[in-house]
A and B are shown apart, each in its own frame.
Chain A
Amino acid sequence: DPKIIQKPKYLVAVTGSEKILICEQYLGHNAMYWYRQSAKKPLEFMFSYSYQKLMDNQTASSRFQPQSSKKNHLDLQITALKPDDSATYFCASSQENISNERLFFGHGTKLSVL
């Protein structure tokens, strides 16, 4: 019974389009994260949120915008998609945004941009 739900599991998009990746966690955690994993780069940190506030952003492009409408949601909006955006995007959460906390990961959304 997954506690971190990512939707969809697979997503195919055309270059230039916009997509939203959904992440919901049912662990009662206060911190949520996005990571990206591709063949070119290993697991790469993107964003961290704590109590729905942005804590850290390591994504250079403004085309990636996290959206937190509820405490247990952290969606990722990607605009003007490029083939290089093809990757598996992982959502994670932890009890608090503290460095010694373990992260719990979702199963990922695999995005393919044609």
Chain B
Amino acid sequence: AQSVTQPDARVTVSEGASLQLRCKYSYSGTPYLFWYVQYPRQGLQLLLKYYSGDPVVQGVNGFEAEFIKSNSSFHLRKASVHWSDSAVYFCAVSFNNNNAPRFGAGTKLSVKP
């Protein structure tokens, strides 16, 4: 079955620390992969996306993600978080052409000052 999993519901890090938010998917083919961020009382905004090419993709605000096909993963990383990065982060996957992306459960990131 096709699915996307974010195993960590909540992550807390200190400001200035590095960050990794995990995302794994289940699909036999090569999916389209996205990370979105949701700030309080707002809709989702795209951070980055991947389909092919360099498996490390750069996004906005210093975020990057790495596609590891052998692990079916697309983890999000940031070298040094800021308090304003506190938000809910969603991994999303499109499994076939013309299919709208399906979202993981989200990871709520809290950055401590």
Contacts and interface: CB of A to CB of B under 8 A. Distances in A.
Interface of A: 4, 33, 35, 42-45, 48, 50, 55-56, 90, 92, 97-100, 102-108
A27 B101 CA distance: 19
A99 B43 contact: no
A103 B44 contact: yes
B46 A98 contact: no
Contacts, number: 61
Contacts of B105: 42
Q: Name A's interface SS.
A: strand
Contact of A55 (B46, B95, B98, B106): B98
Interface string B33-46: 01010000111111
Size range of the interface on B? Answer: 20 to 34
Most buried by B among A48, A90, A99: A99
B38 to A, nearest CB: 8
29 contacts: A4-B43, A42-B103, A42-B106, A43-B90, A45-B101, A45-B103, A48-B100, A50-B98, A55-B100, A56-B98, A56-B99, A56-B100, A90-B43, A90-B44, A92-B43, A97-B98, A97-B100, A99-B32, A99-B98, A100-B51, A102-B34, A102-B49, A103-B36, A103-B100, A104-B43, A105-B43, A105-B45, A107-B42, A108-B43
Contact of B97 (A45, A98, A103): A98
Interface of B: 32, 34, 36, 41-46, 49, 51, 90, 94-106
Nearest to B49: A102
B40 to A, nearest CB: 11
Contacts of B41: 107
Contact of A100 (B49, B95, B106): B49
5 nearest interchain CB pairs?
A: A105-B43, A99-B94, A42-B105, A43-B103, A48-B100
